[in-house]
Every structure is written in C-alpha cells, then in structure tokens.
Structure 1
C-alpha cells in the first residue's frame, strides 16, 4: 500500500464555508439581513426536503439586488479564516499536493476572501451571482453532471471524478451537507460538524479536525 500511495498524486478538495472559514457565510448573510422565510429554507436543505441548489437559489432570491454592496461588504467583513490555513497551503506546495477549493459558496465573497492567499483562480470552484434583475440570482457554472442527481448546485463529485482514483490519492476536507456525496468517493476525509456523523454512519476513512494544523499533522503522518 505504501508503494502504491507513493506513486499516486495527492489532491485535496477543500470546502470553503464552515471549513476554510469559521462560520457558514450563506447562513450568516441570511441571519444578518433576515429576509422573511429564509430560516425555513435552511431547515429544508438540512433535512433534505429540497436540494442545496434550490434552497440557496431561493434564499438569495429573497434579497433585492439593490442591496448588492451591503450584502457583499457584510459577507467579506464577516469572514474569519480557520487557523492554520496558510500553513496547509505552504505544506501542499512543499509536498507537491494539488489543492482545490470546492465551495458551495458564491463568487462575490469566495474570490475576494481567497485573493489573500496564493491559490490560482482556476483552482477555486464556486457558484456565481447576477445582480442585474430586481433580486439576487445565483448562477450555477458547475452544476451536477449525468453521474450525480443530488442537484448540489456546485457539484463536488463531478470535480472529484475528474481526478481518476487510479492515478490520485483523493482527500476531502469539509463540514456539512454539501460535502456528503464527495466524502463517499475519496480515499480520506477530514471532517468537522455534520460531516463527522455521516462518516461515522457510513464507516468512511476519516479524521476529525478542529483547525488546519490538525490536518497538516495528519497528512505528515500519512506520508
């Protein structure tokens, strides 16, 4: 197994909201602006009554596009980066591990927040936004392909599948409902929050983590 692992290229798929950031930014935006009905939509997504794509799309459609700058300023200003993130990126660079951000978040806060870090833009996957109408419209440049029917919005499994298991050791870092399907595909999961229970239930190969220093330590042990 050791020799086989050595011959495979390691690649990390890292969630953004609640993983790279301490809080869930979409929920934080909704809590702050309080559009009527948002909390019910969150509950419906968590309980899987509606898909992530439908829930997120409907939540943002509750906010007028005229509040664009307020929403953007709040989203960016509210972000706290989880400890050890820069150290993880440094480790990946030293160890030749490919690093992708696979986010169910939205471009207007994901790109500005990550611009502080040396991550190529084409290694960041997230949803888009359109403020040209009366209300905010979320657009889905990375929607599910024919192999995924979860209506994820930003389909992490499609991105993971583009790195064949025969050639890659695939590692997912995440915390929540948008990471569930991807966690089932990869070799190793680093999990927080809701994702820990899923990994327990499905007996996946996972390690719990609090911050990215934990992740670096474990990656070093896995070498």
Structure 2
C-alpha cells in the first residue's frame, strides 16, 4: 500500500515572494540586524538566537505598523491559492511550517489555512521590545537550536504512513529537506541541496508544483 502524501511548506520567501522577516528588518530595524542575519546564514549562530535578537531590536509599540506593513507588501507567490485548492481536492494534508512569527503569518493565511495547520513562532508584546516565543522547539534528536524546529515537526508524523514532501527556499528548510521523501526548492535551498547531494525539484511558483505532483500521481 502506498504512503499518504503530506506537505510541509515554508512561508517566508516560499509562499510569499520575499522573506518577510528580512523586509521587516530592512524597514524597521537599526543596522545591527545585518550582522545577525549574516551570522544565521553562515550558521555561526543558531536560527533561534538570530531571529530572537533581531526582533528584540524592535519596540513592541510597532506591532500594528509591522503587521500592516507585511499585509501591504507581502505578495503571495503565483499559484498558491490554486495549490491550496489542489491539496484539498486530492486530500493531501498541508501544513505550513515557518520560522516566521504568528502576528504577521496568521493575518496573511487566515483565508487559506486553518491555524491548527500552521507551525510558527509566537510573540510577546508585553515588554518594551518584541520578544519571540518558541512553542515548537527542537526535540531530543535535534541540537541545532532551530527556534521553530522543522525536522522535529516532521518527526511527529509516522514515516511508515506518510510520504513527506518539503517545500522551501532557505537555510531554515535545510534540516527538514534532509528528512523529506521529496523536496521542492528554490533560491538558497537549491544551493544547499546541491552542496549536500539532496535530490530536489526546482520551482518558481506553485503552479509548477501542482503540475509535478499531478505527473507523479499519474505514473
């Protein structure tokens, strides 16, 4: 009996055209954020440490302004709405697994995805500066201090039952890609997959993923 396909899709830079955290930092943060970002990408500091410190540069009073900024500037990648409909029609569970933050992810996805199918980081605006909360921390098999630990989330689902499909674009998707049965990659994730000899299918938009999944299903 064949396994049930299940999809774990990144948000920033994958569902959206650009990385919202980077866009937020460019628009709102002081210059120190650049070094933090570079240290995350080079893996000199953990994703959790870097993202937490970047958001701690921003005042909690900017919550509404940042949320509005993302809603006005965050462009959904072509074909995403059709992709959601496709997964529903084909009864393929779709989970959003993101290192992004709830206060800007939820408003953008509420029309498409139930919140119980979204794994992301949470936020606390009770102090002077924004604090990030990590409800999906690394399990005992991961020591990368991921923040929202994508491989730990994949391990919640039985390998014998599910064919795990990962869609992503960045360093935050790499550890999940290592565990996936199938990977759809773009941008920086392509570089890492090629470097580590991880098989992947490149994509520019979600229409291409639909076509590829239809082709796999037909075989």
TM score, norm. by length of structure 2: 0.96
1:24 deviates by 0.2
Q: Is the 8 Å Cα contact of residues 182 and 200 (structure 2) preserved in structure 1?
A: yes
Question: Does the alignment pair 1:197 with 2:197?
Answer: no
Question: Does the alignment pair 1:94 with 2:89?
Answer: yes
1:75 deviates by 2.1
Aligned length: 217
Query: Which residue number in structure 1 is paired with residue 73 of structure 2?
Result: 78
Question: Does the alignment pair 1:181 with 2:175?
Answer: yes
Distance 1:36 1:213 in 2: 37
1:54 deviates by 0.3
Superposition RMSD in Å:
1.0
Distance 2:115 2:133 in 1: 18
CA displacement 1:139-192 (0-9 Å, x = unmatched): 101111111111110011111111121111100000001100000001000000
Runs of 4+ in 1 over 3 A off after TM superposition: none
Distance 1:66 1:100 in 2: 31
Distance 1:12 1:75 in 2: 25
CA displacement 1:51-78 (0-9 Å, x = unmatched): 0000000001011112222122112222
Distance 1:97 1:203 in 2: 27
Runs of 5+ unmatched residues, structure 2: none
Task: Choose which of 36, 46, 50 in structure 2 pairs with 1:55.
Answer: 50
Question: Does the alignment pair 1:23 with 2:18?
Answer: yes
Q: Write out aligned runs for 1:1-223 (5 A).
A: 4=1, 7-117=2-112, 119-223=113-217
1:90 deviates by 1.1
1:44 deviates by 0.5
Distance 1:69 1:90 in 2: 30
Q: Is the 8 Å Cα contact of residues 36 and 62 (structure 1) preserved in structure 2?
A: no
Distance 2:121 2:73 in 1: 19
Distance 1:171 1:43 in 2: 28
Runs of 5+ unmatched residues, structure 1: none
SS in 1 for 2:111: coil
